[in-house]
Each structure stands twice: as structure tokens, then as C-alpha cells.
Amino acid sequence: MAVPGTVGHMKRVEPLSGFPEWLPEQRLVELAVLDAIRRQFELHGFVPIETPAVERLDNLLHHGETDKELYVVRRLHARSEEPEPALGLHYDLTVPLARYVLQHRGDLAFPFKRYQIQKSWRGERPQDGRYREFYQADIDVVGDGTLSLAFDSEIARIIHEVLAALPLPPVRLAINNRKLCEGFYQAIGIEDVQAVLRIVDKLDRVGEREVRQALLSEAGLSEPQADGCLQLARIHTPDTSFAQQVRDLGAESDLIQEGIDELASVLSSLSDLPTGSVWADLRVARGLDYYTGTVYETSMAGHESLGSICSGGRYDNLATGANRTFPGVGVSIGVSRVIGRLLGRGELRASRRTPTCVLVALSSEQLRGQAQQVAKRLRERGIPCEVFHEPVKFGNQIRYAARTGIPYVWFLEGEQSGSQEVRDIRSGEQRPADAATWSPRDNDLVVRVERPAASA
């Protein structure tokens, strides 16, 4: 079947729906964003882990909604005499973290502060902001037995600092506390608290009217109960004044007070952050049932329809299966969701299409060795460069540089005998240069991410 000398025999090359793929200049943007996130995580002292793309299918199942989106993986020619565990692609980075902590608990230092930046896979119907293969960037702090509430604040602070360091529109962090909501629901006589949380979680997407209807018909709430839930969800304050607004609703319990105290403590500790960047927002519910305290959501200015781009919360226990309890708190940044939206709308772009900063022009085969020495010297000094591959007319070589966005072209034979020159092909300015000392302008050394829309 193979054609000798040919690598691929492609039947179809159309894009696969839901599996994003970028051109090099777009991938440069994605890499810059991933790098910036990782840099921030490391500046905060989180350690990297990576888990395989696959997990035992057993460990992925039984999480409700996500079950039906699972991708199963098996060998095409698996032989029955070699029984192998059923495998699936992970659909988030939290379940793999749970398995990782349980498996390696003897080798980890607690509190375990880890970051993990990887692809995940979900067989969802592809739509705006929803991919079947997507990058997530997660941080979690996992304790052994206990975990200080200070980490709930630290996670919020990191979200703020990480997202502020990225070339993104302003991001607003909304924080709530499950204890507050659950306590309030219980105090007004609601039994199926989880069902109400799942319905309230849809507020941003479907609005109050529909949520109220669902609370009445699906969750079986009375009208006063439904109105109470909506009143609670309307509370959002940039400071701890939410506490009084909750008390004004009249419901009281130890659990409510605990939720208020925790949320107020987190908010107070963030009071040095810029005004408006962090809110107590009591509509934040999160769909997942494992959260037990602080919950986080974030929205990006001008892209509220995208939903939360960074979410998470506190959970009592990362995993069952050991005689130890591992409470944790963390968030996940939906990197592909953000990148896909901003690239798609032209709101992010790379400053050029290649890492190359300097093209060393080649005037003859005899000078190839010398050209390579110049390139080597520049690379040793951290300047990305390439030697043009054939000694064609300089005009063609300069056009290649212009087409790929290489800012400088280096000429081995300058005006004066023995001198070399470098041309900035944007200005046309050409000057004598020495590979041992010449430097590009600061902005030209590496590819930068630009926000053309930001000036608007």
C-alpha cells in the first residue's frame, strides 16, 4: 500500500471537528500564553507533574455528566491472551491528580502544591468555546489530613496574578462558598441541595426566569424558597459587605455563619488587589458536587458569553482509597477556550511568524561556512537565526525574510572590504555589524504576543 519514498497516504485532510489545530503563527501565541502561565505557577513555587493521557477506565467512570463524554482507548489488534486494563483519555486534570496523589503519596511532600498543564479530551458536541481536545492549566494545593484556609486565599491571589500577567482583556474573579449556599438552602427548608446548586449554576446562561421555573418544577421548591435562592444569588460585593446582605435575608445557621466567615476571610486577605478584580459573588455555584467550601469563577471582559475561563474550589477529600484524607483547593484555566476565542476574533497575534530574528544572507557557496559561523556566534548569544539555504539573488532572500517576518538580514560582505552589515528590513536601514557584539532591538529578540484590539 505504501508508495516508496512517500511518508503519508492521506485519504482525507479536512479538519476534525472539535480538535483545534493552529498555524505556526497561532501556535506561537498559544505557546507564549502557556509559557506565561507556567512561569507564574513556578514563581509561586508550585511543582510540575504530568500524568499519562490515559487512565484506567474504572477510575474515570462514575462522575455523572462526564461519563458519556469519555473517550475509550484500545489497541487495534489487542490479543485476548494478553488481558489489558480498559483505558480512557482523561477528561480533566483533577481525577488524574487524585490517582497520582494516592499512588505516590509516600514520595510527595505535603502540603503538595502542584501545577499541571496538559491536554484533556471530552466527546462533547463541538461548539464555540467547547473543544474535544483542549489545554487545561491546573494548580491545586493538597493537604495530608488538613489544609489551612490560607490556601483558599493563595489560590485566589495566584489566579489574579497569573491572569493579569497574560495578554488578555481584564478578568474578574468571583468567589463564593458552598457552605454559605448549602446552609442557606437548608435553613429555608430545601432538602436536595445539590439539585438546586446545579440549577443555580445555569443563571449566567439561561437567566433568572428560567432558573426560577426550574427551581419550581424540577427541584420542587415553593415560590418563597425559589425567590430566596434567587435573592441570595443576586448578592455580589467587592468587599465583605456581602455578609450583612446575607444576614438581611433572615436565614441563620452555624453552616451559613461558617460560610460567611470563610468567604469574608478570603475576601479580606485580598483587599490589596486592584478594586473590582475580586468579588464575593453568591451566584457562583459550580456544577461539580465535590466542592465543599470556597468556589471560584472568572469572567473575561467583553467575553462574558464564553463563561468562566478559570474555575475551581475547595474539596474535602481528593480521593478515597487510602486511610488518609487529602483535602485540597485548586483551579483550572481553560487555556484552549481563551486562546481559541481570542485568536478566532483576531484579538491576539504574534509579532512575527517565526522565532528567527536574523536571516544570514548567502551570496555564494564559498561563503556558506562563514555564514554558518556568524549564525553560530549569534545563537551562542541567544539570538535566533538561520542561514539562507542557497546563494540566490539578495532580493529573493530579503523577500523570504519579509514574508516570514524576520526583522533583520545579515550580509557577510559590506560596503567596505572585510566588513559585515545588518539591515533592518522594515526601515531599510543598514549598518556595519559584528556577530560578537551586535544586538537586535529589545522588542525584536523573541516573538511577542500583541493585542491589536487592545488599542481600540
Near its own copies in 254-273, by CB under 8 A: 269, 272
Residue placing its CB nearer to its own copies in the complex, 93 or 168: 93
Q: Note the Cα 187 to chain centre separation in Å.
A: 37
Site string for its own copies, 209-248 (x = CB under 8 A): ----------------------------------------
Rounded least distance, CB 213 to its own copies, Å: 27
Helix axes 223-234, 203-217, angle to 10 degrees: 160
Residues 16-55 that bind its own copies (CB under 8 A): 16, 19-25, 27-28, 30-31, 42-55
Task: From 196-204, 246-254, 376-384, 431-439, give the range in contact with its own copies by CB under 8 A.
Answer: 376-384
Backbone angles phi, psi at 178, to 5 degrees: -60, -35
Q: Which of 247, 345, 389, 431 binds its own copies (CB under 8 A)?
A: 389
CA distances, 269 to each of 2, 153, 157, 192, 411 (Å): 64, 7, 9, 33, 58
Pick from 386, 410, 423, 444 the residue near its own copies by CB under 8 A.
386
Q: Which amino acid is at 392?
A: V
Q: Which of 154, 297, 347, 444 binds its own copies (CB under 8 A)?
A: 154
Strand order through the sheet with 385-387: 385-387, 358-360, 408-411, 420-424, 430-433
Selected from 33, 90, 114, 184, the binder of its own copies by CB under 8 A is: 114
| Helix (H/G/I), strand (E/B), else coil: 446 | coil
- Report how far residue 179's alpha carbon sits from residue 292's, in angstroms, rounded to the nearest whole number: 7
Is 133 a binder of its own copies (CB under 8 A)? yes
In sequence order, the 6+-apart residues with CB closer than 8 A to the CB of 59 are: 95, 99
Residue (of 39, 37, 56) closest to 100 by Cα position: 56
Which parts of 293-312 interact with its own copies (CB under 8 A)? none
Contact region with its own copies (CB under 8 A), list: 1-9, 240-248, 279-287, 435-443: 1-9
Nine-digit cell at 40? 507564574
- Determine if 369 is a binding residue for its own copies (CB under 8 A): yes
3-state secondary structure of 290: coil
* The one segment of 57-65, 213-221, 275-283, 331-339 that binds its own copies by CB under 8 A: 57-65
Identify the burial level of 250 via C-beta atoms within 10 angstroms of its C-beta, where 0-12 means exposed, 13-18 middle and 19 or more buried. exposed
Which of 231, 277 has the CB closer to its own copies?
Answer: 277
All three cell numbers of 445, joined, read: 529578540
CB contact burial 384-395 (16+ within 10 A = b; e otherwise): bbbbbeebeeee
Nearer to its own copies, 130 or 236 (CB): 130
Residues 67-86 that bind its own copies (CB under 8 A): 67-78, 85
Please identify, using beta-carbon distances, which residue of 103 and 231 lies nearer to its own copies.
103
Nearer to its own copies, 236 or 379 (CB): 379
Size of the site for its own copies (CB under 8 A): 124
Nearest CB to its own copies, comparing residues 200 and 383: 383
Supply the DSSP symbol for 93. S
Q: Quick check: 414 binds its own copies (CB under 8 A)?
A: no
Nearest alpha-carbon partner for 419 in 409, 408, 435, 432: 432
